[in-house]
């Protein structure tokens, strides 16, 4: 693991690191915020999965999360959104290939050799974190924005017991019924739509739900509402009687101005779950 940068931040440290990923078969970059409390021992950890076109950097610089993570003594992890490098397949579209890994394991060419983002986030990166940072891997929560909200919800529901809470900002809530999903799931996991459900938060909510609290914020003026399909997930939550708070926020769009506005609430929500034990 290489340290690319470390900056003092809200009493703790905001670092950027890279490592040779065996899962994605390329060099991967990620960012970690450690609060001051991590100097004294392991702290709980909140994952933040970013959206289309993002790297580890966008939320690290624009989401305003460190202020609240420092207040609650929680570490933050900002992974990249796809494998990177000259050897890695890509597509001209912004929403397929690099910057658009959708947090799935690709089974199809040309994506399969590197696009193993689910296993990377679910297995390899947690091991790396546990071995190199003062994080308590028994107390994890997860959040994300847009494509990252999709990733957070899917990972939380398909890794029972892993995350104590899950939240999302304007998640891609029903990708198998959206142009933000059908193309990508087809490309990455193949054209058999039966394989898509395990990567679709609405389908997973219908089939299994989540054993813990959920918080979702969605801007009512989001320019991508048709692609996000929050109504499908909201209906599935209500039908299942899932413990959840779904907030439609008047006036807000899809930007980081929206994300940063509600970040304090999300981190307080996760802190409640992470410290409840």
Q: Are strands 75-79 and 43-49 parallel, antiparallel or unpaired?
A: parallel
- Residue list 149-208, contact with a copy of itself (CB under 8 A): none
Taking each helix axis from N to C end, the angle separating 256-274 and 65-72, rounded to the nearest 10 degrees, works out to 10
Instruction: Report the residue from 108, 127, 138, 221 that binds a copy of itself according to the rule CB under 8 A.
Output: 221
Cα gap 69→74, rounded to integer Å: 5
Q: Are strands 43-49 and 135-144 parallel, antiparallel or unpaired?
A: parallel
Cα dihedral: 53, 29, 215, 146 (round 10):
10
In the complex, least distance from residue 220 CB atom to a copy of itself, rounded to whole angstroms: 9
Instruction: Report the residue from 111, 163, 252, 269 that binds a copy of itself according to the rule CB under 8 A.
Output: 252
Cα gap 126→118, rounded to integer Å: 12
Site string (42-61) toward a copy of itself, x via CB under 8 A: -------------------x
Backbone angles phi, psi at 45, to 5 degrees: -130, 135
In the three-class reduction of DSSP (H, G, I as helix; E, B as strand; rest coil), residue 172 is classed as coil
Stretch that binds a copy of itself, among 8-16, 45-53, 76-84, 130-138 (CB under 8 A): 8-16
Give the count of residues interacting with a copy of itself (CB under 8 A).
24
Site string (63-102) toward a copy of itself, x via CB under 8 A: -x-xx-----------------------------------
In the complex, least distance from residue 29 CB atom to a copy of itself, rounded to whole angstroms: 17
Q: Is 264 in the site for a copy of itself (CB under 8 A)?
A: yes
In the complex, least distance from residue 194 CB atom to a copy of itself, rounded to whole angstroms: 39
Sequence-distant (6+) residues with CB within 8 A of 16 are: 3, 4, 5, 6, 29, 30, 31, 56, 57, 60
Active-site residue set: 146, 222, 254
Sequence-distant (6+) residues with CB within 8 A of 127 are: none
Instruction: Report the residue from 91, 253, 265, 272 that binds a copy of itself according to the rule CB under 8 A.
Output: 253
Q: Which residues of the chain form contacts with a copy of itself (CB under 8 A)?
A: 7-11, 14, 61-62, 64, 66-67, 219, 221, 249, 251-253, 255-258, 260-261, 264
């Amino acid at each position: 693991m290489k340290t690319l940068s470390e900056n003092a931040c809200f009493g703790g440290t905001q670092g950027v690191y890279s490592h040779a990923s065996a899962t994605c078969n390329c060099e991967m970059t990620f960012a970690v915020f450690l609060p001051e409390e991590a100097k004294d021992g392991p702290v709980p950890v909140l994952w933040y999965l970013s959206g289309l076109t993002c790297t580890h950097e966008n939320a690290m610089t624009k989401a305003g999360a460190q202020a609240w993570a420092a207040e609650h003594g929680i570490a933050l992890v900002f992974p990249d959104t796809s494998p990177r490098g000259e050897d890695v397949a890509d597509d001209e579209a912004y929403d397929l290939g690099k910057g658009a890994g959708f947090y799935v394991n690709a089974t199809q060419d040309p994506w399969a050799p590197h696009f193993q983002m689910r296993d990377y986030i679910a297995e390899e990166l947690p091991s790396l974190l546990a071995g190199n940072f003062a994080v308590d891997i028994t107390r994890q929560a997860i959040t994300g924005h847009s494509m990252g909200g999709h990733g957070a919800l899917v990972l939380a529901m398909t890794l029972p017991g892993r995350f104590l809470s899950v939240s999302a900002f304007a998640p891609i809530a029903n990708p198998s019924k959206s142009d933000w999903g059908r193309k990508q799931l087809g490309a990455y996991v193949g054209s058999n739509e039966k394989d898509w459900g395990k990567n679709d938060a609405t389908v997973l909510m219908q089939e299994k739900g989540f054993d813990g609290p959920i918080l979702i914020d969605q801007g009512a003026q989001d320019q991508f509402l048709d692609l996000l399909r929050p109504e499908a997930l909201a209906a599935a939550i209500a039908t299942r009687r899932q413990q959840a708070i779904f907030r439609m926020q008047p006036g807000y769009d899809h930007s980081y101005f929206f994300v940063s506005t509600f970040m304090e609430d999300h981190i307080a929500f996760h802190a409640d779950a992470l410290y409840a034990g």
